[in-house]
């Protein structure tokens, strides 16, 4: 049992509060050119992800990695969430997991 390095649920707005920490976010891919992937966060802001292989545009990718700045994440693990995903609900989970129910997550 090891809860020493959780990944914080973030959207673009929450990312800036966790720079340097391990985070997880879902990104709707708009551009993917090898090293840098650009996409929309679940709260409709632009995010940059480094270290992803080529991913198909318009797919949702969950990225877990270190927040390098308030707009970019360096990916360690990623999962393709497919083309249909409820970003709004995920966004709400981000807000709840960092707010009222932080104790269940971090």
Partner 1 sequence: MFSSSQLDATSAFAGGGFSFTQQTQPTDSTPSPAKSRETQGLVPVTVKQISEASQSGDEKSNFVINGVDVTNVTVVGMVFEKVGRNTDVAFILDDGTGRMKCRRWMNENFDTIEMEEILEGMYVRVNGHLKSFQGAKQLVAFSVRPVTNFDEVTFHFIDCIHNHLQTKSQGEGLTPTQPQLVDTSLSTPMRNGLNGSQTAPSSQLSGQFSIDGLKSCDQLVLDYLQQPSSIGQEKGIHRDELSRQLKFPVEKIMESIRSLEEEGLIYSTIDEFHYKSTASG
Residues forming contacts to partner 1 in the complex (CB under 8 A) are 1-3, 6-7, 9, 24, 60, 62, 64, 77, 79, 81-82, 85-86, 89-90, 92-93, 96-97, 100-101, 103-106
Nearer to partner 1, 35 or 86 (CB): 86
Shortest reach from residue 27's CB to partner 1, in Å: 13
CB of 71 to partner 1, least distance (A): 21
Cβ proximity to partner 1: between 33 and 100 the closer is: 100
Tell me which residue of 104, 4, 12, 3 sits closest to 67, measured CA to CA.
12
Position of tokens 């976010």? 25
In the complex with partner 1, the residue whose CB is nearer, 51 or 81, is 81
DSSP assignment of 27-91: EEEEEEETTEEEEE-TTS-EEEEES-----TT-EEEEEEEE-SSSEEEEEEEEEEES---HHHHH
If the CB atoms of residues 31 and 80 are measured against partner 1, the closer one turns out to be 80
Distance CA 39, CA 32 (A): 8
């Amino acid at each position: 049992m090891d809860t020493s390095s959780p990944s914080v649920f973030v959207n673009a707005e929450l990312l800036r509060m966790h720079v340097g920490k391990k985070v997880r976010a879902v990104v709707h891919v708009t551009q993917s050119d090898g090293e840098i992937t650009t996409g929309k966060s679940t709260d409709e802001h632009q995010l940059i992800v480094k270290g992803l292989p080529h991913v198909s545009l318009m797919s949702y990718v969950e990225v877990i990695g270190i927040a390098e700045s308030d707009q970019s994440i360096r990916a360690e693990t990623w999962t393709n969430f497919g083309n249909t995903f409820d970003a709004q609900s995920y966004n709400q989970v981000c807000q709840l997991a960092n707010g009222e129910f932080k104790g269940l997550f971090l």
